[in-house]
Amino acid sequence: MLALRFLKASILSANKIIPPLCACASYYSTFCYFCSNILPLILISHLAGKSLPFRYKKFQTRGYPKGRTRSFCLLLFPIFIPHNSKGLSWDGSVDIYQLNHHMICLNIGIMISGCLRGSRDMNKLEHLLQPIRVRQLEIPNRVVMPPMGSNLGNTDGTVSEANLAYFKRRIQSGAGFIITEITSVHPNGIASPRTLCVYDDRFIPGLAKMADIVHRQGAKIAMQLHHVGREGYYLLKEGKALAPSAIASYIYRIKPQEMNIEDIKETITAFGQAARRAREAGFDAVELHAAHGYLLMQFLSHHCNQRTDQYGGNFAGRARFVVECLQEVRKQVGEDFPVSIRISAEEIIKDGYTVEDMQSIMPILVEAGADIIHASFGTHGSPGGITSAPVEYEPGFKVELARKIKEVVKVPVIAVGRFTDPFMADEIVTRGDADMIAFGRQHLADPDFLINARLGRVQETFPCLACNQGCIERLLFEQGSIRCAINPETGQG
C-alpha cells in the first residue's frame, strides 16, 4: 500500500512539474529553430522589400483530434503543450496555453518582422492620415474602428460606465472614424441581454456620453443600427424572432416568424427613428448593418428570403427592404447627415449571392441615401469563420471586394479583412483599392498601434493574433464581456 501511495504521489507531482518543463524546452527549441531557419528568410525578404516568405496552408496533423487542422507552420514549430491543458491566464477567462500553437509561432515572426520595420518612414502614411469629407463631415484620417461586440452594456440596453471606459481607451490611438457596436432599433431585434439599444428616447442621454468621449479625442463617431432577425437565440427561444421567411438559421435551427407587411413597415420606421435619436445624441453619422447574416442581409439572401411579394423574388426585389430602410433613415436625418451601410459584398456560402450581384444594386443603395459603403463579407454559416477571420487568413485578404465595389460607386468605400499594419493600409489607399481601412481586433490587441506607426515605433506594437478567444468565442459562448488574449486591459475599464 505504501508503495502504491508513493507511486500515486509521484505521478501527481509529475503531472504538475513535467508540462511546464516540456513547455520551456519546447519554446526554447522553437526559438532556436526560428532563429536558424526562418529568421534568415525574413531578413532576406525584408532586404528585398517583400513580405513574409511563406503563406499559410492547411494540413491534417497526427496526434490531434480528428478533423483538427493546423497551419503548415506547426510542422516548423512543434510545441508540445496539450491543446486541452489548463494554464496561465490573466483573468481566469483567457487561457494562453489554449492558443493555437501556430498563432504563437507566427506572432513571434510578426514581432521580429515588426522590429525590422521599425525604421519605416512615417511619411509613407501620408495617404492613410489624410482627411476625407463625407457630405458636410470631415473625418480626420482614413483609419476606421469598425463595430465590435463588447457585451459591456447594461442589461436594460443603456450605455454603461464600462462602455465609456472601453471606448475612451480604444480611440486614444487616433483613428478618425469610430463606429459603435450593434445598437438595436427595436425590442424584437435585440441580439443579446447586454446589447445597446436606441429604440426609445430614454437611451439618448447615455449614447450622448459615448459621442462626447469620442469627440474629445478629435474623432468622428457613427452609430451602427441593427436588427438581429432570425439570429437572436433568446428571441427564437421565446418565439419572438422575425425574419423575411420562416426558415431556420444555420446556427440555431429554430424557425422564426415570417414578417408580414405590417412588421416590415414597423421595422423600417424603427430604423428611421433610431437614426433620428442618434443625431439628437450628437453622433456624426449612422451605419445600417446589412451584413453578416442579420435582418437586412437576410432579406438580400435567397437562403433566408423566399417571399413572393414585393420584398422577395430576384435580387433587386430582395433588396427593396434595405432600400426603404435607407430612404427612411435619410428622411429622418436630413440631407447633410452621413449614412453608411455595412454590407457583405459576398455571401460566401453555397449558392449564395456574389459580389457581382451586389455590384448590381450598389447604385440603387447610393441613390437611396448611402454615403459610405463598408464592404465586409460572409454570413452565419460561412466556412472557416471568415467573418472574423482567424490566423489562417492573411491581412488584407479580401481587399478585392472593396475594389470591386469602388468600380460601381463614387462614394467612399471601407475595406475590411484582418488588418494590423497601417503601412499596408496606406498602400491600399494609395492604390485606390479603398478609401478607408477598418482595423477591428487590432484596436483590442494594442490601441496604440497607430501612434506607434506615426512615431516610427512599429516594433513596440503588439499585432492581433486573430485567435478570436476573448473577442469572439468568449461572447459567443456567453462567458462574459470582451477580453483579449494578448492585452489583459481590454474590457477591464
CA–CA separation, 287 vs 341, rounded Å?
5
Binned at pLDDT 50, 70 and 90, residue 383 comes out as confident
DSSP secondary structure of 241-281: -EESSS---TTT----EEP-HHHHHHHHHHHHHHHHHHHHT
Is 67 a residue whose pLDDT tops 50? no
Confidence (pLDDT) at 385: 83
Among the listed residues 27, 33, 64, 294, the single catalytic one is 294
User: Is the pLDDT at 48 greater than 50, yes or no?
Assistant: no
Question: For the residues 4-31, what does the mean pLDDT come to?
Answer: 49
Q: Is the pLDDT of residue 341 over 80?
A: yes
Residue 479's pLDDT band (cuts 50, 70, 90): confident
Who wins on pLDDT, 316 or 92?
316
More confident residue, 10 or 391: 391
Q: Which pTM was predicted? A: 0.79
Looking at residue 478, its pLDDT comes to 81
- Alpha-carbon distance of 422 to 439, in angstroms, equals 9
Cell 465595389 belongs to residue: 405
Long-range contacts of 34-38, Cβ-Cβ distance < 8 Å, separation of 24 or more:
34/76, 34/77, 34/105, 34/108, 34/109, 37/76, 38/76, 38/109
Other CB atoms within a 10 A radius of the CB of residue 168 amount to: 16
pLDDT surpasses 70 at 108: no
More confident residue, 50 or 4: 4
Check residue 102 and give its pLDDT.
Answer: 42
Note the pLDDT tens digit of each residue in 209-223: 999 999 999 999 999
Q: What is the pLDDT of residues 293-328, one digit of tens each?
A: 999 999 999 999 999 999 999 999 999 999 999 999
Phi, psi of 222 (to 5 degrees): -115, 145
Question: Is pLDDT of 51 > 70?
Answer: no
294: annotated active-site residue:
yes
Q: ∠418-420-424 over CA atoms, to 5°?
A: 100
Question: Is the model more confident about 6 or about 385?
Answer: 385
Helices (H), 133-291: 161-170, 204-216, 233-237, 261-280
Q: Per-residue pLDDT for 18 more than 70?
A: no
Q: Is the pLDDT of residue 434 over 60?
A: yes
pLDDT at 477: 82
Average pLDDT value for residue range 3-13? 52
Which whole-number Å values give the CA distances from 375 to 43, 58, 338, 413, 414, in the listed order?
A: 34, 27, 16, 7, 6
Q: Return the higher-pLDDT residue of 357 and 8.
A: 357
* Whether pLDDT at 97 is above 80: no
Q: Where are the beta strands (DSSP E) in 386-451?
A: 413-415, 436-438
| Residue 228 clears pLDDT 50, i.e. is over it | yes
Bigger pLDDT: 410 or 45? Answer: 410
- Top pLDDT among 443 and 6 is at 443
Length in residues, the chain: 493
Q: Which range scores top for mean pLDDT: 7-16, 198-207, 392-401?
A: 198-207
The tens digit of pLDDT for each residue in 157-173 reads 999 999 999 999 999 98
pLDDT of 473 above 50: yes
Weakest mean pLDDT among 120-129, 131-140, 276-285, 480-489: 120-129
Residue 237 has pLDDT above 70, yes or no: yes
Q: Given a cut of 90, is residue 410 above it in pLDDT?
A: yes
Instruction: Please tell us whether the domain made up of 132-478 is placed in CATH 3.40.30.10.
Output: no
